Chains A and B, each alone.
Chain A
């Protein structure tokens, strides 16, 4: 047995403190009735809205986690892949289609065109970034590509600002996403429902791709050990490019889904979702694909339910403004108590 040090004591006090605050907030909410009174359907609305936001986080987080898996680097430009797809498809495809009236007449075809253009742009931006900014630094110390990623992120933000301007862009409205749909006794906004279903399908597809296909096996092999993978005849550079392509495609899909739900775009739109998705990836256990998905959903839900549940119960004014506090407190908690994340980073010998 290890001796009990003062750090353990502080950590224990911290744990007890957090649990105390949460319990106090929940008690305040449900027993003392602090703040608004919510019906069950209000709580379900919080949950559903969190689920939809969470599935977007999850889609973006997958890109982070996959790149981390093969390169052990945090690709901070990933939020920009998301922005690039959303902005370009809106300006070059969605808005012209809307002006021509095609969106009302052929909504599904238009949507398909928007998705395809977004994915293509995201992939192009990702491949360029990988080829120009990351590949030359493949053997540099780990901090170097990290800083480069931050630089690349700024580069793409201001590149797209130069292309499309800095004002807010409205995404066209699709009549089919207005209104609600009931499913499993839950009332979903149709747009939220589309986001959740599409995300689940994409995530399922990704899992199949990584587990079942030859390329997927190559990605896993490279993640496990690059040198051994090379010896087995795997083209490591090609596999890394494919990883970026897959991650960026999901960012592109997430970009369009985000546009459908929130309907306004801007050149800095990738920053906050990018940071949140990174948080989600770490929450779930970076490097793990199911972990990223779970982390994203968890983060979205806790952000939506946390403020009315704990903060309002504590009597905090303007509680919804503080949802980021909850999100990042979760990150700190996970880093302190379970650094490997909820599911756990798959630790190969080299990384450990």
Chain B
């Protein structure tokens, strides 16, 4: 009996080892070429690597971190990593539709069709890591549109950048992602930086609503904590007082104690830039807490979705939500909205579809500008060249405005709108440009 169990264990271990070998065996060739190219500054090594690829494609890859090779007739593979399941799915699906529409409208890029591999980042650090690893292990992926949530974007940018894959987020807004100290070199975004959004909310509350005592709540995620901190700092700078700066778990079920604590500090407005589940819970509970009657509620783009209004029942009525200004009023957006309605049968459900469209266009334009096309129709895309091309994007006319990247990967043309929930819909009441 004992011997049998030992045997089983041994077999299991062997099987695991085999699987591990198989996995790394697939990934290694690509990773190796990348590594030798980066590490070996010496010409001989680089040339060796080059000659092997030359034989195959007749094109030379002289890129510092490697190339993606696409055979004639094969599509260019790009990935998306957005939150497309779970309570926040309305945020990510909306962006994914934007990506799909951009691919559809752009058509072929340098003679190759574009194929989308859609991944889910689950709006969590773990989800971002999983999606990132899946993308990083596929050497034919040229670039990624994602993530939706900054919390997923932080680990994912580290994983995909290690492979030199370009990453453009249409909806990450946390300042940390483009902070020169922590930014990954392959990371860009077409969404605004929350330095702008937090400032906008603080100015609206202080100058337009005339309130001076604020409380802020975050859930510890980089997006929510970053935005709440920018709001706090801007509000204090404007001359207001932040009476409470609290945190609650994103999956909390009972926020009465939290709100009782906040009520005791006597705010006139509560700002909680969190996601839909916690956001709607706070919205509903705040209506029932003593001392919070008549306190203004405000949140941010993480909850700007019909799902949030539904989940909060009537409690969201009258509250303020900051987010990107969607009053673009250009022809591209008009066509975009028509296509969206025709393909998905609804109006856009969240704020970042237009940014996703622009991010995809930016990626496809950059691919076209750096792709080397051979006589037989095959294609070679240099990874470093692609990153350089993305970084030097300038004056690109997109739906969200004129896209120009700065040296930290912030490419947005940030315009913020503060909306109010009126009759269950978000209607814009104020707009801000830095």
Q: Is the CB of A5 closer than 8 A to any CB of chain B?
A: no
CB-defined contacts of A266 to chain B, threshold 8 Å: 86-87, 277
CB distance from B262 to the nearest CB of A (A): 8
Known: A167-B89, A272-B253. A264 touches B264 (CB 8 A): no
**Dominant SS at the A interface?**
helix
Selected from B246, B256, B284, the residue in CB contact (under 8 A) with A49 is B256
CB-defined contacts of B252 to chain A, threshold 8 Å: 320, 323
Contact assessment for A168 and B311 in the assembled complex, using a CB-CB cutoff below 8 Å: yes
Encode contact with B along A125-150: 1 for CB under 8 Å, 0 otherwise. 00000000000000000000000000
Contact assessment for A320 and B264 in the assembled complex, using a CB-CB cutoff below 8 Å: no
Selected from A41, A173, A273, A324, the residue in CB contact (under 8 A) with B313 is A173
Contact assessment for A189 and B288 in the assembled complex, using a CB-CB cutoff below 8 Å: yes
Interface residues of B in 204-254 (CB under 8 A from A): 218-220, 244-249, 251-254
Q: Is the CB of B290 closer than 8 A to any CB of chain A?
A: yes
Contact assessment for A321 and B256 in the assembled complex, using a CB-CB cutoff below 8 Å: no
Selected from A53, A168, A178, the residue in CB contact (under 8 A) with B253 is A53
Contact assessment for B264 and A36 in the assembled complex, using a CB-CB cutoff below 8 Å: yes
Encode contact with B along A146-172: 1 for CB under 8 Å, 0 otherwise. 000000000000000100001111100
Q: Is the CB of A204 closer than 8 A to any CB of chain B?
A: no
Selected from B85, B244, B277, the residue in CB contact (under 8 A) with A264 is B277
Encode contact with B along A32-68: 1 for CB under 8 Å, 0 otherwise. 0000111101100110011011000000000000000
Known: A36-B264, A304-B256. A167 touches B90 (CB 8 A): yes
Contact assessment for B220 and A321 in the assembled complex, using a CB-CB cutoff below 8 Å: yes
Chain B interface size, under 10 / 10 to 19 / 20 to 34 / 35 or more: 35 or more
Contact assessment for A318 and B247 in the assembled complex, using a CB-CB cutoff below 8 Å: yes
CB-defined contacts of B246 to chain A, threshold 8 Å: 318-321
Q: Is the CB of B105 closer than 8 A to any CB of chain A?
A: no
Q: Is the CB of A263 closer than 8 A to any CB of chain B?
A: yes
Contact assessment for A42 and B277 in the assembled complex, using a CB-CB cutoff below 8 Å: no
CB-defined contacts of B264 to chain A, threshold 8 Å: 36-39, 42
Q: Is the CB of A227 closer than 8 A to any CB of chain B?
A: no
Q: Is the CB of A187 closer than 8 A to any CB of chain B?
A: yes
What's the Cα separation between A263 and B253 when bound, in Å?
10
CB distance from A250 to the nearest CB of B (A): 18
CB-defined contacts of A258 to chain B, threshold 8 Å: 253
Known: A187-B290, A264-B281, A266-B87. A324 touches B249 (CB 8 A): yes
Contact assessment for A320 and B307 in the assembled complex, using a CB-CB cutoff below 8 Å: no
Most central of B256, B257, B265, B290 by chain A CB within 10 Å: B257
Q: Is the CB of A308 closer than 8 A to any CB of chain B?
A: yes
Known: A170-B310, A318-B247. A46 touches B257 (CB 8 A): yes
CB-defined contacts of A295 to chain B, threshold 8 Å: none
Contact assessment for B254 and A166 in the assembled complex, using a CB-CB cutoff below 8 Å: no
Closest to A324 in B: B249
What's the Cα separation between A54 and B255 when bound, in Å?
14
Q: Is the CB of A80 closer than 8 A to any CB of chain B?
A: no
Q: Is the CB of B168 closer than 8 A to any CB of chain A?
A: no
Q: Is the CB of B258 closer than 8 A to any CB of chain A?
A: yes
CB-defined contacts of B245 to chain A, threshold 8 Å: 317-318
Selected from B90, B248, B260, B310, the residue in CB contact (under 8 A) with A46 is B260
Contact assessment for A49 and B290 in the assembled complex, using a CB-CB cutoff below 8 Å: no
13 additional contacts (CB under 8 A) given A46-B257, A320-B246 = A52-B254, A161-B85, A170-B312, A173-B314, A262-B253, A263-B284, A263-B313, A272-B253, A304-B257, A308-B260, A319-B246, A321-B246, A323-B257
The residues of A with any CB-CB pair to B shorter than 8 Å are 36-39, 41-42, 45-46, 49-50, 52-53, 161, 166-170, 173, 178, 187, 189, 258, 262-264, 266, 268, 272-273, 300, 303-305, 307-308, 312, 317-321, 323-324
Q: 16 A–B contact pairs at CB < 8 A?
A: A41-B290, A45-B260, A50-B257, A53-B253, A166-B86, A167-B307, A169-B311, A178-B288, A262-B254, A262-B281, A273-B253, A307-B261, A308-B260, A318-B220, A321-B248, A321-B249
Which A-B residue pairs are the 5 nearest by beta carbons?
A: A318-B247, A49-B256, A321-B247, A320-B258, A36-B264
